[in-house]
Amino acid sequence: MPSGRILAGYYHNWNTTSAPHVPLDQSHSAYNLIHVAFATPIPGTLYKMEFNPVMYSPTNFKAQIQTVQATGKKVFISLGGGLHPVRMVNIAQKDTFVNTMSAILDYYGFDGIDIDFEGTSLLALGNNLNQPADSGAHYLIRAIRQLMERHRNLYQRKLGLTMAPETAFVQGGMAAYGGIWGAYLPVIQALRDSLDLLQVQLYNSGTMPALNGQNYAAGTADFIVALTESSIRGFQTSGGLFQGLRPQQIAIGLPACPMAAGSGYTDTVTVGAAMRYLLGRGPRTGQYILIQNGGYPQLGGMMTWSIPWDATASCATPYEFAQQFQRIFPVSPSVFGRILYANSVQSPLSNVRMQLMQQGLNVASDTSDFMGNFDLGTISSGSYGVDYQTTRVWGGVNATDALLTARHFSNISLLNGIHLQAADVNASGTVNATDALMISRRFSNLISNFPAGDWLWENRTLVIGPGGNYQNLVWRALTFGDVNGSYIPPSL
């Protein structure tokens, strides 16, 4: 998947006067995930897939895909759509689906697949969404797993996976689990570990239930906020518990402009307010109150139908949706670097988990590798606390450390920086004779811990601002008491 927040846009594989064709490689720069619509079943079947570019030859269209991919964007093939149900009911049909989709993926070099099954493609049957009774869901799950395994074996990388269900297929399961109501839930549940993005279509929908027991109408802030939270927190159905997904797996799916959907268009002011509330950046915008205090700062992004509609001046300001995304998710820096032990050889520290915290919420986290490398991803502007966790043992303290601490207290030879901080083992805020004594006692095994703890981390805050450089950072650590930095941490 693209780095940072996702703006996914559907690309029409056709031309209409109302939403004229836009060449794939001329899509607005903000779209970093493009869903080419659609691969569909060959007439007379519901499972033998084909994709035929309408505006270009296959060779030319393949070249456009490669041009887009060369910029770091991803191009997926979307399956089905509103007019073309896709359904497999036996192994032979599943195998045909896999073989024909494999041929499409291989020829065009798509980075992933988007499941946009509508109509009767999937049905909610039985009373256990963890054991789908619908053959369409059962064989779809098997087919996707087979395609993903094949892709990894063939190309040594993950095949991207997104889904774009209508609201009835997901949140509708709260009201009733049967027919199309909740029909995507078994598929999401089974493929949750492979799913990159769930982008429920928050339009062309009737009212839908929320976690607070109320129903909300499309085109409102409440609809966006309430249905997004239910996708994250999960909900109970008569077919069992839908467990919900991580915020990073959720994109807010909306029409690009008023004519892009039959109903449910939401104006930019309302969308902006709803997104700020969801992200924990703004006040409540309607009646629905988020269960999660502070919202969901790690939301994956947004999706729209469609890029040609967004470009159409007769529908709204050209690329109004893309520009709205850029206002909601301004370009943010990537934060990565190394964590090292502050000794003479700057030993890399592996197995250190770092978490960026804001208002009590974990905004980003990573665990350092064997070279001490960490990557916290793309982080929005703001002030963050940095929390550390490690199972590494304390060590490296000796009589020299006690002596250096005493010499500092006596103004004979002063410590500074992280080495001065490491001397304050009693956590008093100053270095004194008590610290020197405690270091000596611990070295002599007369005590087993310090009030300050075992590990000292130099960087406990991070402020992200415009224009700052947060790449190739070097964050340092010491064990408390190792004033001279003599410890060589063992490799893990």
Active site residues: 118
Taking residue 54's Cβ as centre, other Cβ atoms within 10 Å add up to: 10
Cα torsion through 406, 409, 411, 414, rounded to 10: 80
What is the gyration radius of the CA atoms in the chain, in angstroms?
A: 27
**Encoding tokens for residue 115?**
């499941």
Q: Which amino acid is at 388?
A: Y
Q: Can you tell me the distance from the alpha carbon of 233 to that of 292, in angstroms, rounded to the nearest whole number?
A: 9
Does residue 85 contact residue 40 with C-beta atoms inside 8 Å? no
ω into residue 38 within 30 of 0, thus cis? Answer: yes
**Nearest alpha carbon to residue 301 among 318, 326, 320:** 326
Per-residue buried b or exposed e for 127-150, using 16+ beta carbons within 10 Å of the residue's own CB: eebeebebbbbbbbbbbbebbbeb
Does residue 401 contact residue 412 with C-beta atoms inside 8 Å? no
Tell me 168's DSSP state. G
Interhelix angle 91-108/58-69, nearest 10 degrees: 70
Taking residue 193's Cβ as centre, other Cβ atoms within 10 Å add up to: 5
Using the structure block, give the residue that is written with the tokens 């109501």: 181
Kindly give, in sequence order, each residue whose CB lies less than 8 Å from that of residue 471, ignoring residues fewer than 6 positions away. 333, 334, 335, 336, 337
